[in-house]
Every structure is written in structure tokens, then in C-alpha cells.
Amino acid sequence: MIVVMKMKASQKNIDAVIHRVESAGCQVHPIVGVDRTVIGVIGDGRVVDRRQIGRMKGVENVMPITKPYKAASREFKPEDTVFSVGGVIIGGKDLVIMAGPCAVEGRTELLEIAHACKEGGAHILRGGAYKPRTSPYSFQGLAEEGLRYLAEAREETGMPIITEVMDPALVPLVCEYVDILQVGARNMQNYTLLNAIGRSQHPVMLKRSMIGTTLEWLMCAEYILSHGNNRVMLCERGIRANETETRNTFDVNAIPVTKQLSHLPIIADPSHATGRWEYVGATAKAAVAAGADGLMIEVHQQPDQAWSDGRQSLKPERFKRLVGELRLIAQAVGRDIPVDSLEVNQNGRTGIATPIEVVTKR
């Protein structure tokens, strides 16, 4: 439920409501606005008496949250979630471009492609150190060695890094190295992993499973948010349909749908959504036009030599050209793609200049 406090409610009134809710075993997420405080209550709604709360001093209104996902819903938090990772703003007016190889293949290779991605317009570097492969005999990733190379690439380029984590036991280790954790499509409903990531309080991108409905996906985001970890973004990466020409089917609907239902930023991954580099550009453009907050694109210096997902990887020159085209589309829909992450830092959109993340857990 949501408790809307009166404009003139005192801190004592607010504290009394919080105390009442917490002693019933529910979690409280106060949102302090300019003229009033709104208190989000999460937990088993049966144990708090709504009418009793409604009669408390300073309370204007008590409303139920009708959706089964609470903290992820727009009802709970009407304004967009915006947060900063290493100086790059996610969920704001500017779109964020994440790019890099499917897998970290070696130190030299990663440093080279990291520089090429930055030069092509990327703000965040991606690269898998733990790879979820269909075959147990395929390359499984360089593990911690790969994390070290990613951290080195961040040092050299200044770009924050994102990588997938599959094992809950490895969450603390991966958090030591990277700025954003990625939950892969195959692990969307791995609740033990989601709980571990929620507890870590680390920024996270939650990919949609290839068979996941929007409801299931948002319920998974709820797992992470329920631990008070609010730096969550969603990622649409294509779903299973009966089409065989492409690896998956990009669900462009997912962008306006999640935007309406949730306040979380939504990133599009046209690489996994299509599985073929020839289609990545068209899908990326559709995603930007539809209102995505960013893109994740696989880039490789020699796609035909890539250890994984070469078929869908763009060469650096093509990636750079695409970002230029995407910028025009972003501008046509009232947004922008900063030329590089340095510009994101310099154009006053970081830190105190931007209203960042207002939901806090007590």
C-alpha cells in the first residue's frame, strides 16, 4: 500500500506511521517529495490495517498497490528511476550505450576492443567472464582472469563495466571488480541469484528470459528491489517465437509496456534479439524510437574469429556509424546520445545536478 502524508504532516506523524508499519513486520520505503512525504509499504498487506493507518495523524490517504509487483510498479513510484554508475546516468534524458565483446577473450583483445568501443560512442563496456553456453564443451569464459581484464579496461578507458554473474556464491567477487551486474536471460528466474544480488546493493541489469512474460520479469525485478537495492534496470533481449530466420524475436512492445507499468529504466539488446549483425541496426533504431533508455550491442574486431556470438557482433566501424544514426533518432524523439561518457560527466547531468534515485530503504 501507499500512505500519502498531508502537506503539513510533521516528522513525528511520519515516524509514527513508519513505526506502526514496521512493527507489523512490513518494509517501509519513504519517498520525501518537495511538499509531502509518501510512504511505500511492502510486505504481507494482511497484517497492516489500512483503515487504522488512514486514521493516524497527518495521513491524507491510503491506497492499495494493485499489481503483484510493488516496488517495481509505477503506482508505488510514479517518477522514472534515474541513477548514476561511475558518472554515467542511466534512465535520464540521455540514452546510454553499452558495447563490447560477447566474451572477454584475452587481455590484449579486450583492451583493443574497449578503446574501439569508446571511440565509437560507447559509455559502458560489456564483456562476459562467465558465459552461459548451450553446450558444456563450449568456451565457458575466463572467470576471474576476465574480471581482471575488464577492470584494467575501465582504468584505461574510464568506462564503467558490466558483466554477467550466474552463481550466487560469486556475487561478492564479481561486485569487487565490476560496476554493474548482469542477470542473463537463462537466469531471470534464479531466485537465489536475485536475492544475492538484491543483498549486494550493486547496480544490476535484469535481462528478460526468452520465455518470460512481462509479469514474470517484473516479479523478478521485485526480488532484487525487495532488498532495498533500487539500482535496477531491465533489458529486453528478444523472446522465443516460431521464427527461425532470427535467433530470437525482438519484442518492441516491451519498451512502452514496461515504461507504463514500471519506473525502471529499460535497455534494448538488439544483438541477442536478432542473432545476426545485419539486423542489429534496424532493431536498435526501432528500440530508440520506441523509447528505450539505452542499448547493449556486441562488438568484436574480428567477428568471424569470435569465441562466442560472432554472428551477431558488429565490427567497430559499423558500430560507430550506427551510433551516429541512433543519435539522430534519439534527437527526433526528444532525447540524445552524448558523444562520449566524458560528455555525460561534463554536461551537468551527474551528481547533484540531476535528481537521482529517490527511493531509499530505511
105 binds, among ligand PEP, Mn ion, none (CB under 5 to 8 A by kind): none
280 three-state secondary structure: helix
Q: The cell 558483466 sits on which residue?
A: 163
Of 40 and 184, CB closest to ligand PEP: 184
Residue 270: which of 258, 290, 94 has the closest Cα? 290
- What is the smallest separation between the CB atom of 335 and ligand PEP, expressed in angstroms? 24
Of 141 and 198, CB closest to ligand PEP: 141
CA distances from 302 to 109, 202, 310, 319 (A): 10, 32, 8, 13
Give the residues lining the site for ligand PEP (CB under 6 A). 102, 128, 132, 184-186, 207, 237, 272
237 binds, among ligand PEP, Mn ion, none (CB under 5 to 8 A by kind): ligand PEP
- What is the smallest separation between the CB atom of 186 and Mn ion, expressed in angstroms? 12
302 three-state secondary structure: coil
- Is residue 320 within 8 A of residue 119, CB to CB? The reply is yes
Q: Give the H/E segment covering residue 235.
A: strand 232-236
184 binds, among ligand PEP, Mn ion, none (CB under 5 to 8 A by kind): ligand PEP
Of 87 and 275, CB closest to ligand PEP: 275
Helix axes 277-290, 316-332, angle to 10 degrees: 20
Among 75, 94, 236, 309, binds Mn ion (CB under 5 A): 309
d(CA 352, CA 349): 8
Task: Count interface residues toward Mn ion (CB under 5 A).
Answer: 2
29 binds, among ligand PEP, Mn ion, none (CB under 5 to 8 A by kind): none
124 binds, among ligand PEP, Mn ion, none (CB under 5 to 8 A by kind): none
Among 102, 117, 122, 326, binds Mn ion (CB under 5 A): 102
CA dihedral 76, 79, 80, 85 (to 10 degrees): -90
Under the rule (CB under 5 A), what is the footprint of Mn ion?
Answer: 102, 309
